[in-house]
């Protein structure tokens, strides 16, 4: 086996009196691709800075093979001191590196090279830093959240670029798809220490569960040992004072070990506060168009968003995703065409830029609105400290100004604020930014259980696959195409994004439309009959659902008549499934009728 290019051993670092890293480490061999994972705040970025030589640990060993070229991509790159982005990228090249890669990479990332670093947005600075890291084709790449601020075409380009390199890599990222594609080994940073899995990220989550299950079994054994020690102390020979003292000390050590083995004692809890159901049709666009000057944002869009849909909206930066959200929620008006927003909508929006957060307001006041110490979660009052704990905040952070929170903590705070408000329509603009993998899992589970409708803008391909029931993709020129399923389903159907070098974008705006060659010329008698009968079926299912919910609203029903309760619950589940199937079938047939111009 080749000697490692980089080796970290027994790294310790204490910040604010609390150990952040306690015996952490990893090694990277030539050509190896390793991903570094862990919760927000676990010290991943700090460990990567130590690996890059930018931060000194309290103790431990860092060894870098002599002659190894290393490039480090920080989350917040510093471009000061350079006149242009091209100067910045060229400044990272060595004497034997090829200068032509610098302008080529900048061009691939949407920059000209003439930009003034002082005037760059966060996303543009990130792209320039990526070009600087990749241009030399170094022996070792250390990448901290390389997909941050990148749109989906750029993420797919980056994935292909990294795959083609011979460099060894250590990557921190919340993008599961990127990690599954690139990684060959995983280092898990948890409670200050590291564990290594010499398999790709696809195996990580099941392996992590195996590790945690073993910890639970070990904790159970400790519980039994603690019980034996407590029994001995209460009933043992009182004359053996010295032995008593020793065993009391051992008991304290056991209790500390038990505490240390509990994984995530303050587990993150995500639950959206629901309100009454919205109407069946949440938003209906007919021939909707919107432009800014000569630039079309939405062109002749026909779209129906039904209650319970999870609509993912994807496209390159500048395609108009946020404008489309405003149109679909009635906050903006189209230039032509119609947009009818459903009745009884209670909308909660999670904005991409966290703009609703005041940097000078404390975490507690942000959640409570500055009044008292309770948070109104739906109709239930919760103490702010308890609600904070649900989102992994410590009690001592209650008076912490929002401005000093990390990106991940601000993301969790935005979720806490949004999910406390009653809603039946969640509008999520890049909700996955800065969230760790565990929080993403819980957000996904919350959205799956959410009874309302979700409009979701995201560049996270895996998250879209897990959450979206359909995807609305920018096809260029203001055209948008809807595909059933998640992002992978879109690709399987031949869809792509404007600006991507992958599959060409599929033209047309009508959900489920097929090419002219495969489109039927007229509806069959069976389809026409079904289209005529389905509204009545849908109405009957809705009436039955309301009846069953009224029955189950009796708080004493389960105690009084468990058989009736079980039968009503089972029938409600089946009827809701029938309603969903009927609505989807009606939408498919109605779309076909409109496409064919059938009366």
Per residue in 145-196, pLDDT (tens digit) is 998 888 888 888 999 999 999 999 999 998 899 999 999 999 999 888 999 9
The pLDDT assigned to 505 comes to 38
**Averaged over 30-56, what is the pLDDT?**
91
Integer Cα distance of 474 and 46 in angstroms: 38
- pLDDT tens digits along 459-473: 888 888 888 888 899
pLDDT score for 272: 57
- Strand (E) or helix (H) holding 214: helix 204-235
pLDDT at 249: 56
Residue 527: pLDDT over 50: yes
Q: List, edge to edge, every strand of the sheet that includes 453-457.
A: 347-350, 425-429, 453-457, 310-314, 470-476, 479-484
Q: How confident is the model at residue 94 (pLDDT cuts 50, 70, 90)?
A: confident
Give the global pTM: 0.66
Q: For the chain, what percent of residues have pLDDT higher than 70?
A: 82
Average pLDDT over residues 6-22: 88
Chain segment 334-372, per-residue pLDDT in tens: 999 998 888 778 888 876 555 567 888 888 888 888 777
**More confident site: 545 or 2:** 545
Output the CA torsion sign for 432, 435, 438, 439. Answer: negative
DSSP symbol at 274: B
* Token duo for residue 43: 């010290």
The candidate with the shortest Cα–Cα distance to 352, out of 434, 255, 409, is 434
Report the sign of the C-alpha dihedral through residues 269, 273, 277, 280, in that order. negative
Instruction: Identify the residue with better confidence: 555 or 544.
Output: 544
Is 146 in contact with 123 (CB distance < 8 Å)? no
Mean of pLDDT values over 97-108: 90
β pairing state of 281-292 and 193-197: unpaired
- Six token digits for residue 361: 């307001």
Q: Quick one: what percent of the chain has pLDDT higher than 90?
A: 25
Mean pLDDT for the stretch of residues 545-551: 84
Per-residue pLDDT reduced to its tens digit, 498-512: 654 333 333 334 334
41 pLDDT exceeds 80?
A: no
Tokens of 209: 């569960």
Highest mean pLDDT (candidates 66-80, 242-256, 525-539, 572-586): 66-80
More confident residue, 448 or 203: 203
Decide if pLDDT at 318 tops 90: no
Instruction: Band the pLDDT of 455: cuts 50, 70, 90.
Output: very high
- Averaged pLDDT, 535-562: 83
DSSP alpha helix (H) spans, 329-455? 363-368, 384-390, 407-420, 437-449
CA max distance for the chain: 98
Cβ neighbours of residue 432 closer than 8 Å, sequence gap 6 or more: 174, 440, 443, 458, 460, 463
User: What pLDDT, on the 0 to 100 scale, is given for residue 259?
Assistant: 45
- Mean pLDDT value of segment 376-381: 75
Which is nearest to 176 in space by CA: 495, 465, 473? 465
CA distance 427 to 542: 25
pLDDT value of residue 158: 92
Report the pLDDT averaged over residues 129-138.
Answer: 92
Please give the Cα distance from 45 to 51 (Å, whole number): 10
Which parts of 9-121 fold into alpha helices (H)?
44-52, 85-90, 101-108
For residue 154, give both structure tokens: 């750029």
User: How crowded is residue 65: how many other Cβ atoms within 10 Å of its Cβ?
Assistant: 17
Backbone angles phi, psi at 577, to 5 degrees: -65, -40
- Comparing 178-192, 379-393, 584-598, the range with the smallest average pLDDT is 584-598
């Amino acid at each position: 086996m080749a000697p490692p290019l980089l080796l970290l051993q027994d790294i310790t670092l204490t910040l604010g009196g609390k150990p952040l890293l306690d015996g952490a480490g990893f090694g990277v061999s030539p050509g190896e691709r390793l991903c570094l994972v862990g919760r927000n705040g676990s010290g991943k970025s700090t460990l990567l800075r130590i690996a890059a030589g930018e931060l000194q640990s309290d103790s431990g060993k860092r060894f870098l093979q002599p002659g190894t070229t290393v490039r480090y991509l920080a989350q917040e790159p510093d471009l000061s001191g350079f006149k242009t982005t091209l100067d910045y990228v060229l400044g990272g090249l060595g004497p034997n590196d090829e200068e032509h890669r610098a302008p080529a990479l900048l061009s691939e990332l949407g920059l000209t090279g003439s930009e003034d670093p002082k005037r760059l947005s966060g996303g543009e600075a990130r792209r320039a830093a990526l070009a600087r890291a990749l241009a030399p084709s170094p022996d070792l790449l250390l990448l901290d959240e390389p997909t941050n601020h990148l749109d989906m075409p750029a993420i797919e380009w980056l994935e292909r670029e990294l795959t083609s390199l011979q460099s060894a890599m250590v990557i921190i990222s919340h993008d599961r798809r990127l990690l599954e594609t690139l990684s060959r080994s995983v280092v898990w940073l948890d409670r200050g220490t590291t564990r290594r899995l010499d398999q790709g990220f696809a195996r990580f989550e099941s392996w992590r569960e195996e590790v945690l299950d073993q910890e639970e079994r070990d904790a159970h054994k400790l519980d039994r040992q603690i019980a034996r020690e407590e029994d001995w102390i209460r009933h043992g020979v009182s004359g053996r004072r010295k032995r008593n003292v020793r065993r009391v000390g051992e008991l304290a050590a056991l209790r500390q070990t038990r505490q240390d083995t509990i994984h995530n004692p303050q587990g993150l809890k995500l639950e959206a506060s629901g309100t009454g159901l919205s109407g069946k049709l949440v938003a209906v666009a007919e021939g909707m168009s919107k432009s800014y000057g000569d630039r079309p944002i939405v062109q002749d869009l026909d779209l129906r968003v039904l209650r319970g849909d999870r609509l993912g909206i994807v496209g390159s930066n500048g395609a108009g995703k946020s404008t489309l959200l405003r149109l679909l929620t009635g906050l903006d008006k189209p230039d032509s065409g119609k947009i009818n927003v459903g009745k009884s909508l209670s909308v909660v929006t999670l904005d991409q830029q966290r703009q609703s957060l005041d940097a000078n307001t404390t975490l507690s006041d942000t959640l409570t609105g500055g009044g008292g110490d309770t948070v109104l979660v739906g109709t239930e009052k919760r103490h702010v400290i308890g609600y904070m704990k649900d989102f992994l905040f410590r009690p001592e952070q209650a008076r912490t100004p929002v401005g000093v929170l990390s990106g991940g903590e601000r993301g969790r705070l935005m979720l806490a604020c949004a999910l406390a408000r009653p809603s039946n329509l969640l509008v999520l603009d890049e909700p996955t930014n800065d969230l760790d993998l565990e929080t993403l899992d819980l957000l996904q589970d919350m959205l799956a259980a959410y009874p309302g409708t979700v409009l979701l803008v995201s560049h996270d391909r895996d998250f879209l696959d897990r959450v979206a029931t359909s995807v609305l993709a920018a096809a260029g020129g203001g055209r948008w195409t809807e595909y059933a399923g998640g992002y992978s389903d879109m690709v399987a159907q031949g869809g792509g994004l404007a600006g991507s070098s992958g599959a060409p974008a599929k033209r047309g705006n009508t959900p489920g439309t097929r090419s002219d060659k495969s489109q039927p010329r007229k509806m069959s008698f069976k389809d026409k009959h079904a289209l005529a009968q389905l509204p009545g079926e849908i109405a009957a299912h809705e009436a039955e659902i309301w009846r069953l919910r009224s029955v189950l609203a009796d708080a004493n029903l389960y105690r009084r008549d468990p058989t009736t309760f079980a039968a009503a619950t089972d029938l409600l589940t089946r009827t809701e499934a029938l309603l969903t199937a009927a609505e989807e079938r009606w939408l498919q047939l109605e779309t076909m009728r409109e496409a064919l111009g059938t009366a």
